[in-house]
Amino acid sequence: MFVNGLKTVSLAGVVLLNTVMVEVAFTPVAAALPASSSTEIIAQNNILASGLFMTVEQDHPTEGTARIINENGKRYLEFDGAFTTAQGPDVNVILHRNSSIPVNLKEGEYITLASLQSFDGSQRYLLPDDLDISQYKSVGIWCREFNVTFGYASL
């Protein structure tokens, strides 16, 4: 519409514009997250166990969060982005039968999952399908060469 040479907007146009703006303003946040964040939100709904790392050997500080998740029928052990541990030779990720892990391990109390992928940051380990995770109460970071536990997280 034009009035005195100026373009005007009808009331219906203002209501339509406001409706569109309201719909955009209330778009769910998850839809706007990057794919990695969406994956993390989905994974949080499938957490089977989790715990914070504690340092065992003071010269080998370890921190961050460990969690076991179920995703698409597979179970994974994940360390978050805040994970960090001291460097050493032959460092492994283990599952231990007790909720706390001593400095030195005894055979039969643990299983080795894998060599540690990285001393810092998020990482993921596939758990064997036949592994009964109810038999293990903690995850540990362990140096096989010197039989020294750097840290563990009770699950």
* CATH number reported for the structural domain that contains residue 92 in this entry: 2.60.40
* Residue 118 and residue 24 in contact, taking contact as beta carbons nearer than 8 Å: no
Q: Is 90 contained in some domain?
A: yes
Q: Is 32 contained in some domain?
A: no
pTM of the model: 0.71
Residue showing tokens 């992928």? 117
pLDDT in tens, 77-125: 999 999 999 999 999 999 999 999 999 999 999 999 999 999 999 999 9
Q: Is 41 contained in some domain?
A: no
What total number of domains does the chain contain? 1
- Tell me which residue range forms the domain holding 65: 47-154
Q: Is 15 contained in some domain?
A: no
pLDDT in tens, 18-76: 444 334 333 333 333 344 444 454 445 699 999 999 999 888 999 999 999 999 999 99
SS (H, E, C) the chain: CEECCEECCCHHHHHHHHHHHHHHHCCCHHHHCCHHHHHHHHHHCCEEEEEEEEECCCCCCEECEEEEEEECCEEEEEECCCCEECCCCCEEEEEECCCCCCCCCCCCCEEEEEECCCCECCEEEECCCCCCHHHCCEEEEEECCCCEEEEEEEC
Higher pLDDT, 22 or 152: 152
Does the structure show a pLDDT above 60 at 9? no
Q: What are phi and psi of 118, to 5 degrees?
A: -155, 150
Q: Is 4 contained in some domain?
A: no
